[in-house]
Structures are given as C-alpha cells and as structure tokens.
Chains A and B, each alone.
Chain A
Amino acid sequence: MTRLSERSPHVWELAPVGGMRVPGRVFASKPLVDKAASDKALDQVANVAHLPGIVGFSFAMPDIHWGYGFPIGGVCATDVEDGGVISPGGVGFDISCGVRLVRTDIEAQDLLDRRDEVVRHLSRIPRGVGGSGLMPLSHAETRRVLAEGAPFAVERGFGRPSDLEVCEDHGHLEEADPGVVSQQAVERGAPQLGSLGAGNHFLEVQVIDEIHDERAAEVLGLRRGQVAVMIHCGSRGVGHQVCTDEVRAMDRAMRSYGIEVPDRQLACVPVASPEGQRYLAGMAAAANYGRANRQVITHGVREAFASAFGVDAASLGMDVVYDVSHNLAKIERYEVDGRERKLCVHRKGATRAFGPGHPELPDRYREIGQPVMVPGSMGTASYVLVGTPQGRDIAWWSTCHGAGRTMSRKQATKQMHGRDLQRQLAEQGIVVVAQQTRLLSEEAPYAYKDVSEVVEVCERVGLSRKVARLRPVAVVKG
C-alpha cells in the first residue's frame, strides 16, 4: 500500500486514485496501520471514497478491520443537499449495535464474594442463536417498539424513566417509521426483545481500575474500585432484516440514479431520494428496537444483581452512565468551507463523540463532552472516553468503537480450545461463561488488537480523551 503516507503523527493519508472523490484518512500507530494493510481494510477505505457527495475524507478509526462494503471503523459524511448518498452498508446489518454502561455502588471485593451468584443470575438473560428474549412481543407490540424505542420498555416497567436521560437520543429516534419495516423483520424481532444474540455480544461485570480524568469521572459517577456492568448488543433480527431488505432495494434502485460503486455491498442512493428517506426511516425504527433491547437487558441485569445480593436493585445504585451506538447514520450539521451543511454521517463500527458544550448532550454531561464506551476483548480492559472540542474538525465528532479484530474466527479457534481459554482467563481472575464453550476462542483476546493502543491513538490525534479503564471480572458471552 505505497499510496499511504503519514501526514502527521498517527494520521495516514490514502491518496485518491481512479474514482476516489476524496482521499482516505486513517488514524493509527505504525503497528495498527500495518495490521490494517494486511487484509482488505484499506481497499475498503478507498472504496468508500467513491461514494457520491462524500465530503472531506473517507475516515478510518484505529480499530479498523476488514468488513463488507465499508471497513469496520469507517466514517464517511455525505452532503445531503448536494447529491450525497446514504448506504445501508455504511451502517451494517446490526443497526444501532452499541454499548451501555451501568454503574453500581458495589465495591470490587463485595462483588468477588458473590461473583458466582451474580454470574448464575446474569447467565439467565437470553443469549445465543434464536430463542426468546426477556420481553417477547406480539407483532403489533413490535411495531410500537420500532416507533417508540427504549421509552416503550420503561413504560412497561423495564427500567427507570431516569435511564432515558442518559441515552443517546433519549433512547428514541423520532424519524422512525415502522410502516416501512417488512413483515419478515417484525417476525424476526417479535420474540427476541431482551436478548443479547451471539457473536461478539456480551454482558461484562467490570471493576474500574484506573481513572485518567478525575473531573470527568466524578461527573459520570465513576471511581476506582467500583463495579460496573457493560452491555454490548444490538437490534437482533430486526436490524439484520431491515438492512437485508434495504440493500436489496438500493441495489436495484441505484441504477436509476446512475450510481456505480466498486463493491455491491456499498449500494446507495441519494439521501434526499424516496429510497434514501425510506431507508433512514427503517434504520431509525430498527435503532429504536436496539435501544429498547439494551433497556430491557438493563432491567434484567438489575434483577440479576438484586437476586444475587438479596436486596433491592435501587439500593445497589445501578444507574445508567450512558448508552451509545456504534453502527448508525445520522443527519448532522457542520460548517464546511465557511458554509453550514447538512451531512449524513455514516459510522460503521465507530462511535459518535460530541465535544463539551454540544447542545445534544444531557445537561449533566455538557461540561465534559459525550461519554463513549469502548469494550475490549474479554480478558482485556475496556475504556470510558469523552469527546473533545477539536473532534468536530478531525473526523465529524467520531472515535473508535472497540479493539477491532485482527484474526479470523477459524484462525482463532485453531490456536486454542475454548475450554483452555476459559481456564486461562480464570487464572487471570476472569470468570467467563459462554453458550458454547468450544466457540469461546473465536472471541479470544489474541484475535483482537490491543484496545489500549487503540484508545491511546484516539487521544493522541484528538478524537477523544480517556476517562476510566475497567477490567473484567465476569463475562457472559452471547
């Protein structure tokens, strides 16, 4: 990849060639960029740069890896009023997949004393392939979730109204239209609300072991030695089906707009077109399901802790710190070249990270910037970050979303049996339960990049700042 040059420390540029409308820009250390160059991720950065109406750069966060269409870790903004396109492939199949962090008033030692009980109760939260969630719904109720999002779950007693104050969009995207969501998507989603799913999704009990920013941590209610729970999951079959339906529709419609893309998974249409508006309404509906899903699971987590400790969940603290997506497209306004523009910002495996003072932040967080939760691989640390004032001008208020894979699942399972990995993690003080122990090594820490290096690069280039590091003590895998 000789076209790649380091413009400033950790900022690499991919010169435009052929049909690329803008350069690529990759934020990475030398080892991370070498890893990105070892598969097709950088080609995908170049492919995204072909999209009509793209503004600035085709960006990649430090956790970039090979995806389909977009790279995972890809960020791209298109100008809505200048023929800019929207691509479902720039959001992905797991629409509004994201992370929620719940803090507790529990000290590390108290948790360790009851860890087996906590794990036993947490592992009752439905996970894995198919099956029923904590809140199975009728088709009519599913369509209400698609319209209403997390508030629907709170109304039914799954969580507290105050939870919604600290969710991105208050857990509800207004532009959602369940009417454009297919019956197949509704059928897939109806039984699944309140379930983790499989793959890289998980529930993790963590202990905060390092504070990097005392003031921000205080505002977020985080302190050293405190127990927190991280929830990573998405919109289940609803999102998968909405994306399937919409890629199919756009693949067919794209021709009539005279758009050609280098990879069919990048199928796209102008944001302003009827098909583009339809996708945004369907995507928002799936996102509402994703938000409701994390809300229902939060309730399940509180109940699990309450049962394990034999007290009321409210007396354990268990407040939501924040809930944020890392697979979504959003219409956002930015000043570009001295003029305000309406941009469609695709974040595929990347997290929005508004800086301090942003009007969309909850009042109590306005001073510190938007919280971002970055899950590591099980066995390694996770981080809480916040957005920076300069993040806006660097990559449309975006930062990383995780460690980023570096090894295929097959390669990962060849290196170690799941049972051996489970034993190894137990020796490190991490209890892991999985639906399929044999498959555990697909998600082994060695299959991922070093999350600390990823968040470090984000801080060095100014995308986000570190607030706290959390280390896992118990992991329930999807």
Chain B
Amino acid sequence: MGFEIIEHTADVGVEAWAATLEELFVEAARGLIAVMGRGTGPAELSRRVELSAPDVEALLVDWLSELVYAFEVHGVVAADGDVRIRRPVTQDADWVLEADVTGTDANAFEQEGAAVKAVTYHAIEVTEGASGARARVYLDV
C-alpha cells in the first residue's frame, strides 16, 4: 500500500493503492495531507466520520472533503484511521463509510506544499481487482 502525488498544470493529484478498499481510503487520506506537508505532533486527536454516497468514487470525494474540513476547522491532521465501508446491498442503496480518524494537531503542522482547498471529481477513478484497490483523485490547491 502507498500513494504518489501526481502532477497537473494548476493543481495536484493523488494516486493511492492498497490491498483493501478500507486501506485505500487511509492511503488517499495520507496522500491528501502529504500534498500540504506533515503533522509533527503526536497523533492524539480523534474524530468520528460518518458518510454515505451513491458510489465509491463519490464516497472517496466526500471522505477527503471531510478531512479538508476537519483540518481547517477542527485542526485535526489525519494520520491514520479505522475505516469501515459498507457496500450497497440493493441497487438504489448508498455506500456507507464509518471511520475513527486519529490525527495530529494542526498547530504543529509543517507546511511543505500548497494548501488543499477542495477535492474534485475530475477524472476520478476507484478500481478494485485481484491485485487490490487503486484510486486517482485531483485536488484543488
């Protein structure tokens, strides 16, 4: 599992990969934070996140958007998380995510890159296969 920051003329993207969808969401979150810099304090803060979305791509956008908000308003720099994803059982049902995020304090954040303003749907991809799960998402900076 891991992530890579990818280039875009004006903005920046994150590619992440992991064995499971849940780990993929954690890696994407790490990528989001790494675009901006790194938390230097102990991961003492925690935050509960509950989301639902019509498909897995939208769920990823909502998840990362929630972390941008948590960073800006609550000063929580996501470092790790216990992510649980429930897939829809019927065609009309939503994907559901519940997570307990642990994070460092934004007051002890070392900025190394641009600030992420928002998460886009542009060319978004989430795929799952025999070799695991992969995602690509572009961020507005």
For the complex, give the distance between the alpha carbons of A92 and B7 in Å. 19
Instruction: Tell whether, in the assembled complex, residue B8 and residue A66 are in contact, meaning their CB atoms are under 8 Å apart.
Output: yes
Which of A98-106, A211-219, A330-338, A400-408 lies on the face that meets chain B? A400-408
Instruction: Tell whether, in the assembled complex, residue A405 and residue B10 are in contact, meaning their CB atoms are under 8 Å apart.
Output: yes
Within 8 A of B (CB), among A438-458: 438-439, 442
Query: A248 in the interface, Cβ–Cβ < 8 Å?
Result: yes
Within 8 A of A (CB), among B52-91: 54, 57-58, 61-62, 65, 68-69, 71-73, 75
Query: B106 in the interface, Cβ–Cβ < 8 Å?
Result: yes
Query: A188 in the interface, Cβ–Cβ < 8 Å?
Result: yes
Specify the chain A residue showing the minimal Cβ separation from B121.
A264
Q: Select one of A39, A93, A187, A252 contacting B118, CB under 8 A.
A: A93
Task: Say how far B100's CB is from chain A's closest CB, in angstroms.
Answer: 20
Specify the chain B residue showing the minimal Cβ separation from A129.
B115
Query: A300 in the interface, Cβ–Cβ < 8 Å?
Result: no
Instruction: Tell whether, in the assembled complex, residue A188 and residue B114 are in contact, meaning their CB atoms are under 8 Å apart.
Output: no
- Residues in chain A near residue B106, CB distance under 8 A: 130
- Residues in chain B near residue A39, CB distance under 8 A: 9
Instruction: Tell whether, in the assembled complex, residue B58 and residue A409 are in contact, meaning their CB atoms are under 8 Å apart.
Output: no
Q: Select one of A66, A199, A243, A248 contacting B58, CB under 8 A.
A: A248
Instruction: Tell whether, in the assembled complex, residue A68 and residue B122 are in contact, meaning their CB atoms are under 8 Å apart.
Output: yes
For the complex, give the distance between the alpha carbons of A264 and B57 in Å. 10
- Residues in chain B near residue A442, CB distance under 8 A: 114
Q: Select one of B7, B109, B123 contacting A408, CB under 8 A.
A: B7
Query: A240 in the interface, Cβ–Cβ < 8 Å?
Result: yes
Query: B113 in the interface, Cβ–Cβ < 8 Å?
Result: yes
Instruction: Tell whether, in the assembled complex, residue A265 and residue B120 are in contact, meaning their CB atoms are under 8 Å apart.
Output: yes
Chain B interface residue count, Cβ-Cβ cutoff 8 angstroms: 38
Bitwise interface map of B from 102 to 114 toward A, beta carbon under 8 Å scored 1, else 0: 0000100101111
Instruction: Tell whether, in the assembled complex, residue B123 and residue A263 are in contact, meaning their CB atoms are under 8 Å apart.
Output: yes
Task: Say how far B66's CB is from chain A's closest CB, in angstroms.
Answer: 9
Query: A162 in the interface, Cβ–Cβ < 8 Å?
Result: no
A-B residue pair count with CB separations less than 8 angstroms: 115
- Residues in chain B near residue A240, CB distance under 8 A: 68, 117-118, 140
Most A Cβ at <10 Å: residue of B57, B61, B112, B115? B115
For the complex, give the distance between the alpha carbons of A263 and B113 in Å. 27
- Residues in chain A near residue B115, CB distance under 8 A: 128-130, 197-199
Query: B99 in the interface, Cβ–Cβ < 8 Å?
Result: no
Specify the chain B residue showing the minimal Cβ separation from A192.
B72
For the complex, give the distance between the alpha carbons of A267 and B121 in Å. 9
Instruction: Tell whether, in the assembled complex, residue A248 and residue B61 are in contact, meaning their CB atoms are under 8 Å apart.
Output: yes
Q: Select one of A72, A198, A247, A411 contacting B121, CB under 8 A.
A: A247
Query: B49 in the interface, Cβ–Cβ < 8 Å?
Result: no
Instruction: Tell whether, in the assembled complex, residue A251 and residue B121 are in contact, meaning their CB atoms are under 8 Å apart.
Output: yes
Given A129-B115, A184-B73, A198-B115, residue A66 in contact with residue B120 (CB < 8 A): no
- Residues in chain A near residue B73, CB distance under 8 A: 184, 187-188, 237
Query: A319 in the interface, Cβ–Cβ < 8 Å?
Result: no
Within 8 A of B (CB), among A77-115: 92-94
For the complex, give the distance between the alpha carbons of A173 and B115 in Å. 28
Bitwise interface map of A from 268 to 280 toward B, beta carbon under 8 Å scored 1, else 0: 0000000000000
- Residues in chain A near residue B72, CB distance under 8 A: 130, 188, 237
Query: A225 in the interface, Cβ–Cβ < 8 Å?
Result: no
Specify the chain B residue showing the minimal Cβ separation from A408.
B7
Task: Say how far A251's CB is from chain B's closest CB, in angstroms.
Answer: 6
Q: Select one of B8, B10, B65, B111 contacting A244, CB under 8 A.
A: B65
Query: B119 in the interface, Cβ–Cβ < 8 Å?
Result: yes
Query: B138 in the interface, Cβ–Cβ < 8 Å?
Result: yes
Task: Say how far B12's CB is from chain A's closest CB, in angstroms.
Answer: 6
Query: B50 in the interface, Cβ–Cβ < 8 Å?
Result: no
Instruction: Tell whether, in the assembled complex, residue B117 and residue A409 are in contact, meaning their CB atoms are under 8 Å apart.
Output: no
Instruction: Tell whether, in the assembled complex, residue A406 and residue B65 are in contact, meaning their CB atoms are under 8 Å apart.
Output: no
Given A199-B114, A438-B112, 10 extra CB contacts under 8 A: A41-B9, A68-B11, A92-B140, A240-B117, A252-B58, A263-B123, A405-B10, A409-B12, A409-B114, A410-B5
5 A-B pairs within 8 Å (CB atoms) are namely: A93-B118, A408-B9, A409-B114, A410-B7, A436-B111
Closest CB pairs A-B (n = 7): A68-B122, A264-B121, A408-B7, A129-B115, A68-B120, A198-B115, A265-B122
